[in-house]
Amino acid sequence: MNLIPLSYYIVTALILYILGMYCLAVKRNMIKLIIGIEILTSAANLNFIALATYGNPGGADPLGHTFVIMSIVVGACVVAVALTIAVHAYRHYKTLDVRELKRLRW
Partner 1 sequence: MKMILSLPIDLLILFAILAPIVYLLGVKMRTRKIVDIWAVVGFLVSAIALYLLYNEVAAEGIITHYWAGQQLRGIAILQIDMLSIFMAAIFLLIGLLTAIYSTKYMERDTGHAEYYTLLLLMVAGMIGVAFAGDFFTFFLFWEIMCITSYVLVAFRKEKWESIEAGFKYLIISSAGSATVLFAMSILYGMAGTLNFAYLSSTISNTPTPWSILALAMIVLGLGVKAAIVPFHTWLPDAHPAAPSSISAMLSGVVIKTGVYGLIRIMILIFAPAEYQWQLLLAIFAIITMTVGNVMALLQNDIKRLLAFSSIGHIGYIIFGLSIASVYGLTGGIFHIMNHAIGKALLFLCAGAFLFAVESRNLDDLAGIGKKMKITGLTFIIGSLALAGIPPLNAFQSEFMIILAGIQQGVTSGIWYGLSAIMVLNILFSVGYYLRIIQIIMLREPTDLAKKAKEAPAPMLFSMIILAILCIVIGIYPGPFADFANQAAEAALNLDNYVRAIVG
Q: Is 6 helix (H, G, I), strand (E, B) or coil?
A: helix
Report the DSSP beta bridge partners of residue 29. 97
Residue 74 binding partner 1, by CB under 8 A: yes
Q: Which residues, other chains included, contact 73 with Cβ-Cβ below 8 Å and sequence gap of 6+?
A: none
Residue type, 31: I
The site map against partner 1 for 1-30 (x = CB under 8 A) is ---------x--x---x--xx--x-----x
- Tell me the DSSP string of 27-68: --BHHHHHHHHHHHHHHHHHHHHHHHHHSSTTS--HHHHHHH
Q: Which of residues 32-61 bind partner 1 (CB under 8 A)?
A: 33-34, 36-37, 40-41, 43-45, 47-48, 51-52, 55-56, 61
Residue 67 binding partner 1, by CB under 8 A: yes
Residues near partner 1 (CB under 8 A)? 10, 13, 17, 20-21, 24, 30, 33-34, 36-37, 40-41, 43-45, 47-48, 51-52, 55-56, 61-64, 66-67, 70-71, 74, 77-78, 81-82, 85-86, 88-89, 92-93, 98, 101, 103-106
